[in-house]
Amino acid sequence: MRWKGPDGRLHVPAPTAEITKMTTDLVISSRGSPWRIYSRMMATVFPAFFLLYSCLLIVIGLVDWNPTIIIVASLISIPPILLALRITRPPIIQLWNATPDANGNTLHNRGSLPALTTPVPTRIERHLLTDGTPLEFPSSRGPWALFAICVIMGTALSFWISNSDGSLAPILAFGLLAIPLWILGFSIPVLAWWSVASNRLKISVRRVEAEAWLIAGMVSAFPAFMLNSLVVPELIPNHWSEIQASFAAIAIGAPIIEEICKATALLIFFSSMRGRRAGFLVGFSIGLGFALIENLQYIAVALFGGPAELAATTLVRGVGSIPAHALWTGFVGSAMGGMLDELKLDKLAEEKLTSTQIKIIDKVESVGLDFDGDGAAEGFKPDRNLLKNLDSQGDWIIIGSQSMIPRNIALGRRPVDPFNYHLYLQ
């Protein structure tokens, strides 16, 4: 942007500060939001579910070589893909640090963001930080209470309909409550079990990490769904009876395929499995993600069977299938975590993962897309170890309101420079 001033001279904006490595320690606090993980979970599972079936249609179209199915399914899959990418975008905080300097300025250009004005001359620095907000859950009593209410209401509606002598009132009541009972019935048990496991293990985990584990569990349901739908039926002999074929598919084929897919998803998180307890939590979360997307379908089908079937399916899935998925994958994760801890492979895996992430950012931004959210499509080049080092500090705490303060002040020490101005934008 260029413009002419009153003096007739051509003016251009001052250059923005380049991204540099932060040299001071900060504690970034955030407002506690125990239910936010639930809202994020729900915002992810619905596009993932639609994408699951659109991918199945694409595979069927490829197998039958039906271009119409392939094109339609591909077009249908675009909106959920874009929505899922938007929701799961790794949160990065951009920090602008203004420090008093007699040779500095009082007005600082920040590109597309509003300019920063300070009451005294300052020099501006710009940093990137990964979101280290800790994972937090509501008390498990709340989710379990909602789960119990869903089962009780479904049972009560069933008795009401059976004793209503054809009255429309209970049917209308079920019609109004069906969708809320379905949504709470398939999701609240997942939150309850996740809260129980996290509180029992008492492991400090970043929310963005936990969300990645849950999403990996949902993604692992894709190949399992494809194999169970298309491959397993072809492996069952034709001379078997319907009962034998169903038993083989449900009791043998599906469990083996599902556990293999979930265990494969575990391999992505080598760097997070630092010991048996951490490995168990990673596996438990992946199992819950798988159970969440599977539960959505089972309880949706139960809706058409009436309130009695809805209540029974919600109860059985909530106390049986969901913890089973989580426990089996948790045991596998615990074994992997113990092995990695003994062989010290987690450090090597973490370095490889960080290097891969940086290469991906550079590749994507080389075509002009701002992938890392720093306001510039120039790749991740100022300091290759910036995100890795900041990520390992874990300097995030929860207090009553959003603010940013130096760590030495948070610990009750004398501030090194009490006149620093800190501004962060998410």
User: CA-CA distance, 177 to 169, in Å (whole number)?
Assistant: 12
Number of residues in the chain: 426
Residue with tokens 């009695």: 308
Query: In the prediction, which pLDDT does 246 show?
Result: 83
Q: Is the Cα torsion angle 256, 257, 261, 267 positive or negative in sign?
A: positive
Per residue in 68-113, pLDDT (tens digit) is 888 998 998 888 888 888 877 777 777 888 888 888 888 777 777 7
Q: What's residue 421's pLDDT?
A: 41
Q: Name the β-bridge partners of 92.
A: 130
Residue 422's pLDDT is 43
Dist. CA 57–CA 51, nearest whole Å: 10
3-state secondary structure of 366: coil
How is residue 44 written in tokens?
Answer: 């992810």
**pLDDT of res. 344:** 67
Residue 271 DSSP one-character state: G
Strands (E), 298-402: 396-399
Residue 54 identity (one-letter amino acid) = S
Per-residue confidence (pLDDT) for residue 410, from 0 to 100: 39
Three-state secondary-structure class, residue 321: helix
The answer to whether 422 and 97 are in contact (CB under 8 A) is yes
Dihedral sign, CA of 102, 103, 105, 110?
Answer: negative
CA-based diameter of the chain, in Å? 93
Show the 3-state SS of 146-211: HHHHHHHHHHHHHHHHHCCCCCHHHHHHHHHHHHHHHHHHHHHHHHHHHHHHHHHHCCCCEHHHHH
Cβ within 8 Å of residue 254, ≥6 positions away = 224, 228, 232
Is the pTM of the predicted complex or chain greater than 0.95? no
70/66 Cα distance (integer angstroms): 6
List the pLDDT tens digit at each of the 426 positions of the chain: 565 656 666 666 677 777 777 766 666 666 767 888 888 888 888 988 888 888 888 888 888 888 888 899 899 888 888 888 887 777 777 788 888 888 888 877 777 777 778 888 888 888 877 777 778 888 888 999 999 999 999 999 999 988 887 788 888 999 899 999 999 999 999 999 999 988 888 887 888 888 889 999 998 988 898 888 888 888 888 888 888 888 888 888 888 999 999 999 988 887 778 788 888 999 999 999 999 999 998 999 998 988 999 999 999 999 988 999 999 999 999 998 888 777 766 566 666 767 776 777 777 777 766 655 555 555 555 444 444 444 444 443 333 333 343 444 333 433 434 334 444 343
Report the b/e string of 12-22 with b at 16+ CB within 10 A: eeeebbebeeb
